[in-house]
Structures are given as C-alpha cells and as structure tokens.
C-alpha cells in the first residue's frame, strides 16, 4: 500500500461511487442502502455513523483480518485502543472536518516479527436533509502478515507513511485511471530506467489533486504506558 494508491482499482471505484452519489452537491447523501454500493467494494468496506462512531457495516475481509465482527459496536469505546484508536480517529475527524475523501497508508507492527501494510480511503457522506458529515465509508486493504488486527491495539506499533486529501475528484478519477494504466505497464517493463520513467509519469498525472497532509509524527506504540 506504500505504492501509489491508483495501482489498486478498489480505491478508484470508491472515489467514482462517492462522486456519482453527489449529484452536483458538495457531499453525497447516504441512503442506508448497501445495494447501491459497488459489489467489488463490499468485502473490504466499513460503514460507520458519526458522531456516535458506531460500526454499521463491516465487510467480510475486514471481519477476517480483525479476528471478529465488530458490527454494532462503538469504535473507540468497545473496539479500538491505544495508538491504533488515535490513528483511526484522526483520519475520521479529518474526513469530517475537510468534507473530502482522505487516503492514508500505514504500517502496523503487532510484534517484533510481523508487519502489516495497510491502505485506507475515507469517503464522507451526509444524510438526507443534513449538510453535515454523518456517515463515513472506509475502504481498507492489507498486505503482509495475517496476524489479527486486534493485536495491534494491544501491544503493537502504528507508523503512518502518508496521508492525502483528495481534491478535484471528477478530474482526479479520470487522471488516476490513466495513471494506473501507466503504473501497470511499468510493472511489466524489464528495463529499469524505462520503468522508473513511466512511474514518474504516473505520479505527475495526479498533480495537485492529491494534497499531502501531516502524518503521525513518529511510530507510536499502540498500548498505553
């Protein structure tokens, strides 16, 4: 997940869904209808309400990676803890405050021998009749160790690598699709210099549509002292 996120089609799919649901409004409205969500996203999707911060829907892959189903539970009071909780809360708060999609990549170290790489995209929604962010759709993808994420909150380390606010979403969706094509080509090019050149083109295509935001200052132990 440390590579450009457009290399993964799921993130682009969520961006396109978020933009299509806006229908000319600053924020899309959440209709409480999971059938509207592209099926590709469901296994790795989490839906939560705000400000109650409760899990309304947790996809099957997220349940598997977590080690249990937290649907219906309060995120910060019953599920997450330590630096893991602070990291996730900061992303949710940022998406709500900026009223725009937020992407983050991080490395979890549940212990000294396991590493989990994560990428997540937060998409803010309003509810009908409201202008405030009340629902967050979060797409979460993982690589690396299969150790359960519950272990991160108990004694692990959270190291955020990047955080971006996504601006100009319609334009970015088109540019990301082209950038992803270049990125895929570069993965199959044997000449190292040419692959690097294509990677640079892909990065340039995103331009100012990705606005870097501050990440967590330093790797932080999840368990409280």
Residue 173 in domain: no
Residue 183 in domain: no
Q: What does the pLDDT read at residue 156?
A: 74
Domain count, the chain: 1
Give 62-86 pLDDT, tens digit per residue.
Answer: 999 999 999 999 999 999 988 889 9
Per the rule left: phi > 0, alpha: psi between -120 and 50, beta: everything else, 14 is: alpha
Higher pLDDT, residue 51 or 154: 51
Residue 52 in domain: yes
C-alpha to C-alpha distance for 171 and 220, rounded to whole angstroms = 36
Residue 190 in domain: no
Average pLDDT on 195-218 reads 65
Q: What does the pLDDT read at residue 9?
A: 77
Q: Note the pTM of the prediction, 2 decimals.
A: 0.82
Structural domain of 162: 5-167+208-221
Average pLDDT on 186-197 reads 57
Pure H helices in 23-105: 60-66, 82-98
C-alpha to C-alpha distance for 80 and 102, rounded to whole angstroms = 20
Domain CATH for 101: 3.30.450.20
Give 10-27 pLDDT, tens digit per residue.
Answer: 888 999 999 999 998 999
Q: Is 44 within 8 Å of 62 (Cβ atoms)?
A: yes
Q: Is 107 within 8 Å of 161 (Cβ atoms)?
A: yes
Q: What does the pLDDT read at residue 91?
A: 95
Among 45-49, 109-113, 193-197, the range with the most confident prediction by mean pLDDT is 45-49
Average pLDDT on 195-204 reads 56
* pLDDT tops 70 at residue 199: no
């Amino acid at each position: 997940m440390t590579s450009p996120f457009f290399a993964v089609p799921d993130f682009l799919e969520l961006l396109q869904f978020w933009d299509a649901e806006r229908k000319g409004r600053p924020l899309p409205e959440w209709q409480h209808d999971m059938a509207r969500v592209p099926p590709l996203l469901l296994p790795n999707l989490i839906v939560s309400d705000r400000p109650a911060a409760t899990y309304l829907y947790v996809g099957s892959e997220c349940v598997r990676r977590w080690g249990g189903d937290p649907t219906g539970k309060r995120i910060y009071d019953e599920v997450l803890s330590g630096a893991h909780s602070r990291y996730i809360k900061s992303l949710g708060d940022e998406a709500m405050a900026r009223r725009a999609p937020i992407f983050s990549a991080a490395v979890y170290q549940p212990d000294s021998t396991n590493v989990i790489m994560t990428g997540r995209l937060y998409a803010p929604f309003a509810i009908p009749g409201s202008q405030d962010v009340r629902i967050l759709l979060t797409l979460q993808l993982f690589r690396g160790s299969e150790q359960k994420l519950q272990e991160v909150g108990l004694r692990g380390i959270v190291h955020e690598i990047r955080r971006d606010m996504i601006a100009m979403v319609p334009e970015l969706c088109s540019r990301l699709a082209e950038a992803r094509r270049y990125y895929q080509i570069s993965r199959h090019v044997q000449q190292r210099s040419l692959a690097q050149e294509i990677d640079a083109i892909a990065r340039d295509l995103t331009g100012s549509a990705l606005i870097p935001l501050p990440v967590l200052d330093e790797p932080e132990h999840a368990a409280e002292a």
